[in-house]
Every structure is written in structure tokens, then in C-alpha cells.
Amino acid sequence: MSGRRNISGILKAVQEDGRKILTEYESKNILSEIGISVIETILATSKLEAVDAARELKYPVVMKVSSPDIMDRSEADAIRVGLTSEIEVRQAFEDITINARSYDKEADVRGVVVQKYVPSALEVIVKISQDRSFGPTVVFGVAGVWTDFLEDMSYRLAPVSKSDAGEMIEEIDGYPMLLGGEEGNPVDISALKDIIHRISQLPMEYEGILEINLDPVFALGEGKGATVVDARIELK
């Protein structure tokens, strides 16, 4: 019950703020409330807070601008990866905030998120989009060329059961990659099913949600789970 109150509180605060786009920090908090694993992320509004966050998370860390108005943080040069010292964190905070405001002078820059750096893993995408006729639709695919150019994605109307989630995963052409390919090191399919299932419940329970974009989700080895690295939720 407390989780639902927390989600409702976040959504209400965003609406009262006159926004439709949640920040990454807000989006991840909602995902955590419904039991989806996310990379631990701390919002810092000053250099000192950023340093404290990096110490808490332990180096190396990643830093990104926190703004509902800046979708492409790479284009804005507002992201830094693999920071390993207090000096680097302080400089990154300054560079990110300056670059973000230079990129969009009207942007609502709310600080910088600091998150634990994790080694690269197989990346997948899980989305909720809106179909004009049928409503919330769940989308799944392997990130990168598979979705960007081959449009290798599977679809289901929300909500999605774990059984249906398994079918979604097996339907894509990139499924052999999830099984480990020739190397035979499969990812945690069960964890991916769980994320698809859980995320599909959100727009059914909270009708104000328009779209959800989990990109990327790191699919870890079998038995090791899967975790959301970046997330964005948009309201109607």
C-alpha cells in the first residue's frame, strides 16, 4: 500500500508542477516501488552532494543531467562515464550543468544524477506505447541495431502475463542472442519476463501514464537478474 501511495505522490507532484515528463530519478523511484531492479541512482543538486553520492555508491560512477526537458543527454554533452575520483566528480558536475544550460537555455535543470557504473551487458529495451485503437501496448526488443534498423520487436497489449512475456521474448529474431549464441551464456530470461510483466501493470493501474521507456535494461547472466539503467515515464 505504501508503494502505491508513493507512486501516486510522485505523479501528483509532477502534474502539479505542470510537467508531463518525469525525470530519470522520478521514473526510477516509481519502478523501484513496483519491484523492478534499477541501478542505484542518487540525485545531487550541488558538487558536495555529488561527491557524497559517489562515495556512497563507490567508484567508478556515472553522472548525467537531471532534467525533464533534455531527452538526449549525449547530444547535450551532459553525461560522464567511469568517474573514479572526487576531482573528476566535481568537474563533471560543473561541466554537465553548464553544457545542459547551454544546450537548452529554457531547460529545467534539477541537478545531476549519480549512479553506480556497471560493466556492459546485453542491452534490451522494454517500452509502453499507446495504440490509438487498443491503448497501452508493451514493446520488447534487443537494443542497438536490432531495434534501430531491423525493427526486431515484439508487441502485446497490456497487461501482460509472465507466460505472454516469455512468448514476446522468444518471438524476436534476436532471441538466440539472449540464449548466449555460440558461447552458450544465456541471460536471465526469468528476470526479463518479470520486468515485462510488472511494467505492463503500471498504465492499467495509473491511467495518467502515457508512455514508459526502459532503455537500456542490462540483461545479466542466468540467475543474476536484469536491471534498468535508464528510464523515462511520460504522462498524458
Q: Of 116, 133, 148, at which residue does a domain stop?
A: 116
- DSSP 3-state helix, strand, coil percentages of the chain (rounded to 5)? 40, 30, 35
Rounded-to-integer distance, Cα 196 and Cα 165, Å: 6
**Could you give the 3-state DSSP secondary structure of residue 175?**
helix
Number of domains in the chain: 2
User: Rg of the chain over CA atoms, in angstroms?
Assistant: 18
Judge if 152 and 222 occupy the same domain: yes
Q: With a cut of 70, say whether residue 53 has pLDDT above it.
A: yes
Q: Across residues 108-136, what is the average pLDDT?
A: 93
Q: What is the pLDDT of residue 145?
A: 82
Is the distance from CB of 79 to CB of 73 less than 8 angstroms? Answer: yes
**What are the Cα distances from residue 7, in Å, to 29, 133, 209, 232?**
8, 27, 11, 14
Judge if 129 and 179 occupy the same domain: yes
Share of the chain above pLDDT 70, in %: 99
Cβ atoms within 10 Å, residue 206: 16
Judge if 49 and 90 occupy the same domain: yes
Q: With a cut of 90, say whether residue 105 has pLDDT above it.
A: yes
Domain extent, residue 67, equals: 2-116
Q: In which band, very low, low, confident or very high, does the pLDDT at 2 lie, cut at 50, 70 and 90?
A: low
